[in-house]
Structure 1
Amino acid sequence: MNIVIVGAGLAGVNAAEELRVQGHTGDITLIGAEPHPPYERPPLSKSLLLGAADPDSTFVHDSAWYAEHQVDLLTSTPVTDIDLDTRRVTLADRQLPYDRLLLSTGAQPRHLPIADRSGADVVYLRTLDDALALNARLAGHVLIIGAGWIGLEVASAARQAGATVTVVENAPQPLATVLGPLVAPIFADLHREHGVDLRLDSSLAAIDHTAGRTSVRLSDGHELVPDLILVSIGAEPDDQLAAKAGLGTDHGILVDADLRASDPHVYAAGDVANHDHPLLGRIRVEHWDTSIHHGRHAARSMLGHDQPYARQPYFFSDQYDLGMEYVGHVGPDGYDDVVVRGDLHQRVFTTFWLRGTTVLAAMHVNDWDAIEAIRHIVAAPTVDATALRDASVPLDSLVGEARGRE
């Protein structure tokens, strides 16, 4: 069986690796539009941006691995078309047949037109080359639009590099939609303590770039003169190729619980996959852990394994001396209770978001021993909320029958 993987990111390379682990002996072609072999993305806004890691350390495998495992890696190779009827993908110079096709094309930064058309020095952070270019420019006054995870991680790196940093966010708190009004202020205080000018409930009103000088006016009336503007307002799934081919798309490639697309020979994984999760419903997750495990699961599905992907989303962040890990997904119906254990102000705590007696999501901050218990509690059908509130009750004792783990 000939398998073609379009998208040489974490999902794609993990699919290729898992195919060989599972004993697949057929052809595997891994196609990437970027010039680099597959690499890890978390360092781009963390250790690489801080200068604590070199680019080679981000690569998933060295170049010899692909030859040793008979994976034909094509870099700097955009795919322009997919023919579902003849099962072929079109490259610039040829067509490749496939028996199974995995689309792991990822996502692209959401653009801000007022910034793009201003003529000012505006950058986005998505690729390895973006991170290397930004690392060399973390000086002067850096204006960051968007106080999400990437924006705040870049703010942390820029402050540690000695830059003046302003972060503009139109919500009342950073990370407000993820963390809610109780926990989000912890991150606002953290950045302000480190000298970040955090402008909340605000947005760009006007940008003037004249004679090499950029001036910005915010909706709150504040004016500033940045040397560099980083826009970090989220990402959009790169699903145009799939839509052009006639696959079902809706803010991502629509896949079933097994990660199979609307064509039975096509699968999708990673940031681009809008997955029918058996526990969480339709969900598209833009995190490192999901890309890895999506890729592996899609590989097994392409080989005929029949098991839904039910792993809970997971991500982590490092900002200054704060590290956190988050498991689960609150979903559109929201939560009705929040339980916090530990000390919010000392920034050593765990937080649980509940609906009824079910823990939808949980997070620890600087409490590294808690993560395994947290994973199991989020995976449990129900939890004793009274015991969860009682800090004298060890988290390990609350671990129930796991659900949703691969």
Structure 2
Amino acid sequence: MPENYEYVIVGGGMVADAAAKGIRERDKSGSIVILSEDVDAPYTRPALSKKLWTDPDFSPDDNDLKTTDATGAEVRLSTRVESIDRSNRSVTTSSGDTIGYGRLLLATGGRPKRLDLPDDSRIVYFRSASDYRRLRELAGKGHHVAVVGGGYIGSELAAALVQNDTRVTIVFPDRELGASTFPKSVDDRFEAAFRDHGVAFRPGRRLASGRADPSGIHLTLDDGSEIDADSVVIGLGIEPNIELAQRSGLSTDDGILVDVRLATDDPFVYAAGDVASYPDPILGRRRVEHVDNANEQGGAVGRIMAGSDEKYTHTPSYYSDVFDLSYEAVGKLDASLETVEDWKDDSSVVVYYLDGGVPVGVLLWNVWDSTDKARQVLAEAKALTPDNLVGMI
């Protein structure tokens, strides 16, 4: 006989935790099950490339979100959902279990982009807590780790590793680290921090191939040069896990398409987090892979599934910490766009990114408690000109 739950959540990340807590804000007793492919109960993902490397008093146990304790939700780990029967409102797992739902949330997240490299335990595609644990085993003791990717996750991993007795070489396609994201005045400071800490650079390069042998991992770059490392970590972003939604006939594009109430084109099925393409009230339809969106959208979809009449109207921010540099951002950061810089002092600046003269992104570099002001700028963008942006924040 199939099991039945009032709320079934597929995916066991931060969205699942926030959704279960959102459900409990309105429904104190409805049954909740979280079906997760992960081997760990929900945890905070940002700490995997930040705090767990830099704060000796913060442990993996501290990083556990304690979802079951807070909500009473049942969490089933190492559980893959293979199909959704929308007509009978049930899901089937890879082990053959059928589970009925009243409301279904797809919080399936994403998987790391992969390269044509050997299947070797010394090559880590970084995404999960188990990846963190594996990289910890490979790091330290002066070991040489090659980081492939110089974007958000790659740069954080390079900073984390080099601060933990690890020799680091980072490979990235830009002419400078961060050049595709930051204007040159900011990028110079960003790149200098890595050089000052001893990170070796291979700029303007992509990975062509790699091989593994008992002595280590040997990478060949697109110019024919080579890197010999003890291990490799790949940080090239993710691809959204939309295949389950596609197999069930739900509408997808870059992600699972949802409306302002985070519902798919099936009124009993919702999607949120990294996998959801939603209509942002300021920036238009988009898919966001950051923690602020996971928490806010997860909480909102939980309340909505439990009967709230709210809409998801939050425009999320995101942040990064590397060494003693920190920033927050809202919207699109693309160094190819026109930028307006508003320096507050030698180390703090607000950068406005403009597309066709209209602000589409705001970088808050060592400027704090200003994400709401950044959202306001983007909400009023069409009424602003480059000349009157300085001093807005």
Tell whether the structures are fold-level matches, with TM greater than 0.5: yes
Matched AA of 2:23: L
Identity %: 33
Q: Deviations over 1:196-231 (max 9, x none)?
A: 112111012332334434333322343321111111
SS of match in other structure, 1:96:
strand
Query: For the Cα contact (< 8 Å) 2:122–2:138, is it kept in 1?
Result: no
Worse-superposed segment, 376-385 or 103-112: 376-385
Partner Cα separation in structure 2 for residue 388 and residue 358 of structure 1: 11
Matched AA of 2:75: L
SS of match in other structure, 1:340:
strand
> Cα RMSD (Å) of the superposition?
2.6
Correspondence for 2:89: 87
Q: Deviations over 1:203-260 (max 9, x none)?
A: 1233233443433332234332111111111101112211122212223212122211
Correspondence for 1:364: 364
Correspondence for 1:401: none
Correspondence for 1:76: 78
Shift of 1:299: 2.1
Cα separation, partners in 2 of 1:336 and 1:42, compared to 1, 3 Å: closer
TM-score, normalisation: structure 2: 0.89
Query: For the Cα contact (< 8 Å) 1:49–1:131, is it kept in 2?
Result: no
Partner Cα separation in structure 2 for residue 369 and residue 313 of structure 1: 14
Correspondence for 2:17: 13
Correspondence for 1:321: 324
Aligned residues: 384
Correspondence for 2:273: 270
Correspondence for 1:40: 44
SS of match in other structure, 1:241:
helix
Q: Which runs of 5+ in 1 are unaligned?
A: 396-406
Q: Is 1:246 matched up with 2:249? A: yes
Query: For the Cα contact (< 8 Å) 1:81–1:244, is it kept in 2?
Result: yes
SS of match in other structure, 2:299:
helix
Q: Is 1:61 matched up with 2:66? A: yes
Correspondence for 1:124: 125
Worse-superposed segment, 97-106 or 271-280: 271-280
Partner Cα separation in structure 1 for residue 247 and residue 369 of structure 2: 47
Correspondence for 2:350: 350
Q: Is 1:102 matched up with 2:85? A: no
Shift of 1:266: 0.6
Shift of 1:31: 1.9
Matched AA of 1:156: A
Partner Cα separation in structure 1 for residue 336 and residue 157 of structure 2: 29
Matched AA of 2:19: A
Partner Cα separation in structure 2 for residue 260 and residue 330 of structure 1: 28
Partner Cα separation in structure 2 for residue 35 and residue 167 of structure 1: 29
Matched AA of 1:374: A
Q: How does 1:175-324 map to 2 (within 5 A)?
A: 175-179=178-182, 183-324=186-327
Shift of 1:380: 3.3
Shift of 1:356: 5.8
Q: Deviations over 1:360-384 (max 9, x none)?
A: 2112222225445334333434346
Q: Which runs of 5+ in 2 are unaligned?
A: none
Q: Deviations over 1:16-71 (max 9, x none)?
A: 1111112464322222222322110000001113463211111122653243xxx2
Query: For the Cα contact (< 8 Å) 1:255–1:267, is it kept in 2?
Result: yes
Partner Cα separation in structure 2 for residue 180 and residue 271 of structure 1: 27
Correspondence for 2:35: 31
Correspondence for 2:376: 376
SS of match in other structure, 1:230:
strand
Partner Cα separation in structure 2 for residue 110 and residue 379 of structure 1: 33
Matched AA of 1:47: K
Cα separation, partners in 2 of 1:137 and 1:335, compared to 1, 3 Å: closer
Q: Is 1:338 matched up with 2:343? A: no
Shift of 1:288: 0.6
